[in-house]
Amino acid sequence: MRIQKLNTRPFQKRTRTNFAVMRMNILLMAALFFAGCGQHKTEQSTMQRSAGAIAEKIEFKDYWYGNEAELCHYELEQARYGEIRKGDVVLVFVTEPLGDKSHVKNDDNTGGNSVPVLKLNYVKKFTTGIYDYSMMSSIFTPVDQSSAGGSLRITTTSQEWCGHTYMSMDLRENEYEILSRSYFENEADQQFSLKKTWLEDELFNVIRLAPEKLPIGEFEMIPSTMYSRLMHVRSTPYSVKASSKKEGNVTIFTVIYPELDRELSIHYKNEFPYKIMGWEETYVSGFGSEKRQLTTKATLTHTRLSPYWTENAVDDAQLRNELGL
């Protein structure tokens, strides 16, 4: 189990030491080889890149396949009804096998062939006056990002005192099959398809897997399912403008939706494992005289690597303190 607070030194788990040693050995052998031979510079450069790629794969497996999930807690300032509300976000990143037909965890190999995915459970909670919101999205993105985009499934639920909603998006061939159920009359019992395109919901996973695959320029994107539910906006592709810039050891990836008058900026570390440090989302919130442009913000406070599914005893409740909850 690894516990890490922001700006503190990470604790390295012993069971992962072999991967680190193997990575160091590969790099050392490559360096000795290049120093002691008279190969052409182009050949040396090619072999150096090959050694680096192997080391990156070992580092990836060490981090994401250590039988642990990454838990990240963020302090939340949520725009709702024209005011800023305090809350929390927890991002749970974990790898697992997903059935290519069932689009659920393929524990018994009954859901078709298994596709290795990075799953993100995005949990958001905040209070509005006397009542609270509890929202959650699950995003399943193939680990293989040789062809960018194309998350296999997104599901989102939202609960508050007026009622609750459910939405799922499943990739079938080149279309997303969408199912929506809602307490609200104009959203109830919808079923439709959309052409395959970029999804805002998958951006966090693409950053963690292969940030170089993030789309830049002008293209179409489907807004996040949480935003669509909160703002009662139909899920459909919108034209966006995306850009990326580095500031020190952090990259800021920005998506602008001109039609929605909305802007999203995600801040993540430049180096593996490309930890997401926070994000900002600016749009018009509220109705009538309370309507104004506000910015929702999430700021990373704690991270923790652990097999949280085994930490379910009463005594394990104290671990919430270590996550800032």
3-state secondary structure 30-75: HHHHHHHCCCCHHHHHHHHHHHHHHHHHHHHHHHHCCCCEEEEEEE
| pLDDT number for residue 95 | 95
Q: How confident is the model at residue 55 (pLDDT cuts 50, 70, 90)?
A: low
Answer yes or no: is pLDDT of 254 > 80.
Answer: yes
Q: Of 94, 52, 9, which Cα lies nearest the Cα of 308?
A: 94
Q: What is the mean pLDDT of the chain?
A: 86
**Where are the chain's structural domains?**
14-62, 67-322
Torsion from C-alpha of 207, 213, 216, 218, nearest 10 degrees:
-110
- Other Cβ atoms less than 10 A from the Cβ of 69: the count is 20
Answer yes or no: is pLDDT of 280 > 90.
Answer: yes
Torsion from C-alpha of 286, 288, 289, 295, nearest 10 degrees:
20
43-68 mean pLDDT? 72
| pLDDT number for residue 13 | 43
Q: How confident is the model at residue 287 (pLDDT cuts 50, 70, 90)?
A: confident
> In one letter, which amino acid is 290?
E
Q: How confident is the model at residue 24 (pLDDT cuts 50, 70, 90)?
A: low
Considering Cα of 298, then 201, then 150, then 111, what sign does the dihedral take? positive
Percent of the chain clearing pLDDT 90 (strictly above): 68
| pLDDT number for residue 26 | 46
Percent of the chain clearing pLDDT 70 (strictly above): 81
| pLDDT number for residue 119 | 97
Q: How confident is the model at residue 148 (pLDDT cuts 50, 70, 90)?
A: low
Q: How confident is the model at residue 202 (pLDDT cuts 50, 70, 90)?
A: very high
Q: Omega of the bond prior to 273 within 30 degrees of 0, cis?
A: yes
SS3 89: strand
16-44 mean pLDDT? 49
| pLDDT number for residue 252 | 98
Q: Of 135, 71, 159, which Cα lies nearest the Cα of 296?
A: 135
Torsion from C-alpha of 79, 85, 88, 91, nearest 10 degrees:
0
CA distance 121 to 137: 6
For Cα atoms 171, 71, 208, give the angle at the middle one, nearest 5 degrees. 50
What are the residues whose beta carbons fall under 8 Å from the beta carbon of 148, sequence distance 6 or more? 206, 210, 213, 214, 215
| pLDDT number for residue 34 | 43
